[in-house]
A and B are shown apart, each in its own frame.
Chain A
Amino acid sequence: MNMLTEVTAAPEINVTETSEAGQNFAVEVRGLTREFGTNSVLRNLDLQLRPGEFTVLLGRSGSGKSTLLRTLAGLDPAPEGTVTVPSARAVVFQEPRLLPWKRVWQNVALGLRVPNARKRAEEALEEVGLGHRLNAWPLTLSGGEAQRASLARALVRAPKLLLLDEPFAALDALTRLRMQALVATLWQTYQPAVLLVTHDVDEAILLGDRLLVLENGAISLDVEISHPRPRRHASPGFISMRATLLDALGVHEDGSAI
């Protein structure tokens, strides 16, 4: 069946998957370099993510953060360096990427190789608050509903690593707040390692245990946040962390560039 390869598969991917339990890291990246032509997107990058840790990856457009996430997802190749990720991992993209010709529950159950896949899919959808839209066609969902379905599709796979690629970017402000709270709750329930890629500094501080800033393909800032949850925008710790992050991203509080 090699004839199908060209259309469906990404280029050869040199990412090691492991399903070993009890290891120290959920993700281990060593010396990852990725170049497009002469432009290097990731430069000799080292990164370790601990199991159950919520890591937020910030960076300006073109900083390489999406490339890093796609490499961990197995969508982009890792030509130089080693990447070890759990085999149980799931991705939520900026767009929901639901198959429009499958009902919502079928989308969630797709590729789920367990005997009672439908029941599991329906439970996952109920958990994200979509119990009333199990049989809906995806194109009839609102943006927030579709993104919740996409989250259910990821969670139902019981991932050890959950990769979130700007999943709230296309949502309106109120829906975004609700989705952030939902992700925080689900993460606390299931404790996967999470890597959230975002532009949004407030979102990063609200959700992350650990914040990384990626700049020119290398990690320029790596801080842990130990503020108690749920976090409030008005707390002093939040405000000082915000300043630190904006500084690392090269922006003043008033929005002007440094």
Chain B
Amino acid sequence: MSVSLTSLSASPKHAPARRRIIPATLLRRLMVPAAIVALWYGVTAHGYFDAQTMPTPYAVAVSFWQLIVTGQLWPNLLISLQRVALGLLFGGAIGVILALAASLSRFGEDAIDATVQMARTLPHLALIPLMILWFGIGETPKIVLIALGSLFPIYLNLFSAVRGADRKLIEAASTLGLSHAETVFHVILPAAVPGFLVGLRQALGASWISLVVAEQINASSGIGYLVMNARDFLRTDIIFDGLLVYALLGLATDQAVRLLERYLLAWRPSMITAKGI
């Protein structure tokens, strides 16, 4: 990846012309997925498997289209997205608040860190039975589960990023006459952004996992519901559709974080090179 960036920036005159066609890197990245689909087609097209065990890529594509045109996909996709967004928002906010409180003061660390460290060793998915007892089978237990899954990655990464802020820069800030609050704002928090973004990515991953589990245990809507329903009717093709949707969602949110990274970390040399400045 870095090689291709360097070669682009090394010849700025040719770069615009090259961008118009499909970039060579994209072609190279698509090689393996294309081979996998071809292999999949090869083993299913000749009837070695029955359709309920392993549908052909074509059958999966057709049923995917059916889900779209019959209007089954969008409402379920939207409700799944909404669950993840809310869970991530609550979990992320709590994670950020706890991490800042624990990392910026000794008192906060003593009060919070040990408890959070203990809590994170508990697999949060093990709480599902309790969630159902406490919150029923509505939206709340799903959102709480996703929030719990995203809280810990954000907490851990942000905590260590704040603590890892360069002491030399903090020292320099104090010689410039910055107050403690200003030092936190201008030096420590910006220094912690890369670590926070790592936490955000991990939290997104955990959110999707929590969503899958929450929706498969009890749900009357969402992608997970579509998949479980398809299982009851032996519609393996729709199960594949659900998996495909999950994969695409994961990919899309990862790209979103990358964009955020480009904006927030514009000062990094790698970003500057990538933008061709």
Contact = CB atoms under 8 A, between A and B. Distances in A.
Is chain B found bound to chain A in the same assembly? yes
B168 A111 contact: no
Interface in B157-172: 162-163, 168-172
Interface in A1-51: 1, 3-10
Interface in A147-204: 153, 157
Interface stretch (A59-67, A90-98, A217-225, A230-238): A90-98
B187 interface: yes
Contacts of A111: 173, 176-178, 182
Interface in B247-271: 266-269
Given A3-B105, A74-B175, A75-B171, A8 B269 contact: no
Contacts of A90: 175-176
Interface stretch (A99-107, A126-134, A206-214): A99-107
Contacts of A100: 267-268
A100 B168 CA distance: 13
Contacts of A137: 266-267, 269, 272
Interface string B186-198: 1110110100000
Contacts of A138: 267
A73 interface: yes
A97 B188 contact: no
Nearest to B105: A3
Interface of A: 1, 3-10, 73-75, 89-91, 93, 95, 97, 99-102, 110-111, 113, 137-140, 153, 157
Given A97-B172, A100-B268, A101-B190, 14 more contacts: A7-B103, A7-B104, A7-B105, A7-B170, A7-B188, A8-B173, A10-B174, A91-B172, A93-B172, A101-B191, A111-B182, A137-B272, A139-B267, A153-B176
Interface of B: 103-108, 162-163, 168-178, 180-184, 186-188, 190-191, 193, 266-269, 272
